[in-house]
Structure 1
Amino acid sequence: MSDSNCGSGGGATTYAQLRIASIFIVLIGSTSGALFPVLAKRTKWLHVPKAVFDFAKYFGSGVIIATAFIHLLSPALGELSSPCLSPAWQQYPYPLALAMLSIFSIFIVELVAFRWGTAKLATLGVRHDAHGHGLGAHSAHGPEGGMPNDDSSSEKIKEDLESAHDHELPELGALGQIIGVFILEFGVLLHSILIGLTLAVDANFITLFVVIVFHQTFEGLGIGTRLAYLQLPKKYNYVAICGALLYGITTPIGIAVGLGVQNTYNPGSTTASIVSGVLDSLSAGILLYTGLVELLAHEFIFNKEMITGSNGHVAYAVSCMLFGCGIMALLGRWA
């Protein structure tokens, strides 16, 4: 163990001008990837075919899952097993435990929110699909098919109730979707800050820079498609745009901060390894839960369109997802 590797030290200062330019280049790539699907879905002057949105949606699901495994959980294992850390860190698989803690924490939060929303709807006399096809946190990833058809009298009662409570129901739906998107964005934003800091001080700048530009653009496409499919009341339309912009600026902020502390911040130091390892582990759990439960299961297993659709359509969707996962996993070879 050497002080130069484990102390406070400082980061690399080569390619100074390009490091500064990377703030704006990554900003353009990240923001474009996240904002384009949102604007294309909500504006008339951008006519994007539904097939393109479908591709982006399934591709994005694969990107998010690969990010969790390859770009978060794997680095966390390395960071918390660094020789700079106390031997106590080697006596237990802390990254995996923290990821598991994150998964169950998100599960409990969503379970409570889901039960509260369902109970609230019950007081209004409106039934809720237990698989999340109606209102609740699981609706964050977009529509999955219609509700089962009731008889005419039930439909009449439901219409009357919805008319009587036309303000309360949209508010509940908006809350559920915003919770789901917030959970997804929270995990991604933590990761984005960390990779921005790393890019600013890493010695292998050129390779990492190229990979991160593609990484952030692809990940932004996945986030942006989720935001585009939000079904919110008009007064909440700004949420999707703000979510895309927030994603776009996070990594550039991380790069700027990294450049500001370039002479003192050492990504291999003891403190940096612990902070990065813990945050990467927690973020991995968030994205694993979101990717596997919110996106994968609800887009394929509980999606009426997938259950009754043609084999070709299902195969296309799965192929898009695997393509996104494969591309992001491949980028993990260099970063």
Structure 2
Amino acid sequence: MFRRQDDGVACHSGRAYDPSEYHLGLHVASLFVVLAVSSLACAFPLLVLRFPRLRIPSSVLFTVRHFGTGVLLATAFVHLLPTAFISLGDPCLSGFWTDDYPAMPGAIALAAIFLIAGIEMTFSPEKRCCAAPIGSSGITTNNARGEGDEEQRSGSVARQLSDTPTITRPQQGRNESHEHSDEEFDDFKIKLSAEQEYHKAFLQVVLLECGILFHSVFIGMNLSVSAGSEFIILWIAIVFHQLFEGLALGARIAALKWPPNAVKPWVMCLAYGCTTPIGQAIGLGLHSSYSPDSEAGLLLVGIMNAISAGLLIYASLTELLVEDFLSDRSWRTLRGLRRVGACSWVVLGAIGMSLIGAWA
């Protein structure tokens, strides 16, 4: 069925295809194919670590990890955000979306970024490490070793934890203000315990998975309400989409230091594997009445994709790209040709997912 806007644009309000082109058996088969590909792709890095007899080189996990970073970046920028702008800019929607505030998808993505940053700040274990009381209000310099050095070191810590950017210390009988150098604080960097490191990394992976799962349901719904040649093309594209994205997420899950026989990583893989098929099942039940080109469908898909784009942009940039390539730890562990190789895999992953994003 169609409805017409005042400007004559034909808009779908129900089924958007010829019923004779809809092959129910093929759609059901596609659900199980997507379920298998998604689950196995996400679980693959875990299986490699769990079963060393598979003899999968460590370089494979290295490649999957960084290739996946590029995949997730491209998913956010090439697939989700443009789709949100297209959906919410459709002429079938009211003038608020198309004329009054066409930048709404960007605003929604920005709000999602603020939300996810707030969640991470609230639950970050690092804030507990910086809650020590500030005791000293100054620093005393002593040329002798021993108690004078300890007092100076204690004062440095207090000043580092305060908001005061400068200090005053006596030198040659007079006070002079100067700014701390980076070297002066090298010994006072925040250090998390092993348990805190685990909780921090776990929170990052959970936020990353939330950004992925949020839009997966609607990918499945769109697949199930398509028909004919459009369905075949979309099915193939989504299979590759789920494969790459699953490997990316699985590599991050496997990188955590899980306790022996932990169940959580397998549950996270299963959650990723089932989300798109759940969307397909919903689409199968609603395929005769739901249309992604209807006003409700456009708003639903557009808003959810904008939110997912914000979540993935934040997670893939701050938790993956910055952590892997710009953090202090990365400069110690990723050097020379390994760094060049990792950067190359990120770019290749982004290119590959950008090409798939033209159809999925």
Q: 2:296 is matched with which residue: 261, 271, 283?
A: 271
Whether 1:67 and 2:72 are equivalent positions in the alignment is: no
The correspondence of residues 145-294 of structure 1 with structure 2, limited to 5 A, is 172-203=196-227, 204-234=230-260, 237-294=262-319
Contact in 2 for aligned 1:26/1:251 (Cα 8 Å)? yes
Instruction: Provide the rounded CA distance (Å) in 2 between the counterparts of 1:30 and 1:277.
Output: 24
Q: Which runs of 5+ in 2 are unaligned?
A: 5-9, 133-156, 161-184
Structure 2: which amino acid aligns with 1:295?
Answer: L
Q: Which residue of 1 aligns with 2:341?
A: 316
Cα distance, 1:113 vs structure 2: 2.1
The correspondence of residues 29-40 of structure 1 with structure 2, limited to 5 A, is 29-40=37-48
Instruction: Provide the rounded CA distance (Å) in 1 between the counterparts of 2:297 and 2:211.
Output: 18
Q: How has the CA–CA distance of structure 1 residues 308 and 31 changed in structure 2, closer, same or farther, with 3 Å as cutoff? A: closer
Q: Which residue of 2 aligns with 1:57?
A: 65
- Pick the structure with greater CA Rg: 2
Instruction: Provide the rounded CA distance (Å) in 2 between the counterparts of 1:11 and 1:185.
Output: 31
Structure 2: which amino acid aligns with 1:233?
Answer: P
Which SS does the other structure have where 1:234 is aligned? coil
Whether 1:112 and 2:122 are equivalent positions in the alignment is: yes
Contact in 2 for aligned 1:77/1:95 (Cα 8 Å)? yes
Q: 1:21 is matched with which residue: 29, 43, 46?
A: 29
Q: Deviations over 1:148-182 (max 9, x none)?
A: 9979xxxxxx9xxx9xxxxxx66544433332122
Structure 2: which amino acid aligns with 1:3?
Answer: R
Cα distance, 1:195 vs structure 2: 0.5
Contact in 2 for aligned 1:170/1:232 (Cα 8 Å)? no
How many residue pairs match? The answer is: 296
Q: How has the CA–CA distance of structure 1 residues 257 and 69 changed in structure 2, closer, same or farther, with 3 Å as cutoff? A: same
TM-score scaled by length of structure 1: 0.81
Contact in 2 for aligned 1:207/1:334 (Cα 8 Å)? yes
TM-score scaled by length of structure 2: 0.76
Cα distance, 1:44 vs structure 2: 3.2
Q: 1:301 is matched with which residue: 326, 339, 344?
A: 326
Q: Which residue of 1 aligns with 2:91?
A: 83
Structure 1: which amino acid aligns with 2:336?
Answer: N
Structure 2: which amino acid aligns with 1:96?
Answer: G
Q: Which residue of 1 aligns with 2:108?
A: 98
Cα RMSD for the two superposed structures: 2.7
The percent identity for this pair of structures is 38
Structure 1: which amino acid aligns with 2:3?
Answer: D
Deviates more, 1:42-51 or 1:54-63: 42-51
Instruction: Provide the rounded CA distance (Å) in 2 between the counterparts of 1:269 and 1:275.
Output: 10
Q: Which has the higher strand share?
A: 2
Q: How has the CA–CA distance of structure 1 residues 75 and 301 changed in structure 2, closer, same or farther, with 3 Å as cutoff? A: same
Cα distance, 1:316 vs structure 2: 0.6
Q: Deviations over 1:218-244 (max 9, x none)?
A: 100000000000113337x21111111
Q: Which runs of 5+ in 1 are unaligned?
A: 131-147, 152-157, 163-168
Instruction: Provide the rounded CA distance (Å) in 1 between the counterparts of 2:246 and 2:16.
Output: 27
Structure 2: which amino acid aligns with 1:208?
Answer: L
Which SS does the other structure have where 1:334 is aligned? coil
Instruction: Provide the rounded CA distance (Å) in 1 between the counterparts of 2:333 and 2:206.
Output: 31
